[in-house]
Every structure is written in C-alpha cells, then in structure tokens.
Amino acid sequence: MQKKHKEQPVEKSDRPSRQEVETAVHTILRWTGDNPDRDGLRDTPKRVTKAFEEYFRGYNEDPEQILSTTFEETEGYDEMIVLRGIRFESHCEHHMAPIIGRAWVSYIPNGRVVGISKLARVVEVYAKRLQIQEKMTAQIANAIDSVLKPQGVGVVLKAEHFCMTARGIMKPGTDLVTSRMLGCFRDSPVTRQEFLSMIE
C-alpha cells in the first residue's frame, strides 16, 4: 500500500539552491535534444528559475495572515458579499502545465468583513502553488471560513487545464467547474442559488 504524505511545505533550509535549479533546467534542455549552450538557450536556465519563483511564490505567503485584518464597523451589514471573476494562473501538480481560470468568492459576514483585495489575494496565494482545482477550491473556502467565521462561504472556480487542452487528449475550449459551499451556502438552497445566479 502506498504511503500518503501529509501536505507540508518544504522548509527554506531544505530547498535546493538557485544554482541546482538552473543546472536541472540545463539538463532538461539537453534531454529535449537541443543544445543548452547555444545563444538562444544560454540564459534560459536563469530565466526559467526566475519564472518559477513567480509561478510558485504562494508557498511563501500565509493566506490566513492575509485575512486577519478585518473591519467591524459595518452598521450591521449581513447580506451576501461576492467578488466575481478573479482571474488566476496556476500550474497542475501532475504535469506542471498551466491552469488559467477565474474565481467567484462569496461570504455572508457575521459581524466582521475583510477588504475585498484580501479575497483576491487569497485566491492568488493558493493559485501560485502546484495545484489540482478541487483542492484549491476547498483551500480558498476553508481559509475564509476559518479566519472570518462567517455565516457561510461559497467559492466557484472555472478554469482551462492545459494538461488536457494542449497535450494528452487535446480538447481545447473545455473548462472545469468546481465549487465549495460552507455554512448557509450549503444548508440553504435559496442562498446557494442567489450566489450561483451571480456567476455569468
């Protein structure tokens, strides 16, 4: 039976050096059959390493910390808050191929609200990690629920996965839709439908 490893970020001290990453990219370029020492590819290992720092910067950020600054002066506002169409770019953990999509994030406050940019940042933090869409959807909803403790949370993601649109089965134009409903979004069909009606 295959042993399952709990998801836990690698400590910075255990991560390979920048030079090791560049050497690995150099090896991959050789493996493709191209010459990594030719003019066009000479700086590619450095460029790829720098790009990977951007693609996966979410491992260096704490989404719960981002959500920790809240506002209580809401005049009793307790209706749905929805941030629509948050564009994100991620990478699939199986092929490291791009995932390009949009997120719809909603919650009903329970005395506290958070700045709307923080909702977008939480999506960004989880997107900038190796992902599967189902897990990312749950992570976003769970983080908001854990920190804000609202009446409910709803998250919907729609994305194109290049691991199936640009390789493998080659079905461009298809997207995957995932959702996570917590609290009143799960328990109340009316609340859930109100949120879903705001998507497209």
Catalytic residue check, 163: yes
Catalytic residue check, 95: yes
The catalytic position among 20, 53, 64, 94 is 94
User: Environment class of residue 5 by beta-carbon count within 10 Å: exposed (0-12), middle (13-18) or buried (19+)?
Assistant: exposed
Task: Provide the CA 116 distance to its chain's centre, in angstroms.
Answer: 17
Instruction: Count the residues in the chain.
Output: 200
The catalytic position among 61, 89, 160, 163 is 163
Catalytic residue check, 92: yes
Tokens of 109: 């406050």
Catalytic residue check, 26: no
DSSP state of 43: T
Cα-trace Rg, the chain: 20
Catalytic residue check, 161: yes
- Which amino acid, residue 15? R
The catalytic position among 61, 89, 93, 160 is 93
- In whole angstroms, what is the distance from residue 146 CA to residue 22 CA? 38
The catalytic position among 133, 139, 151, 184 is 133
The catalytic position among 124, 131, 161, 184 is 161
Catalytic residue positions? Answer: 92-95, 133, 161, 163
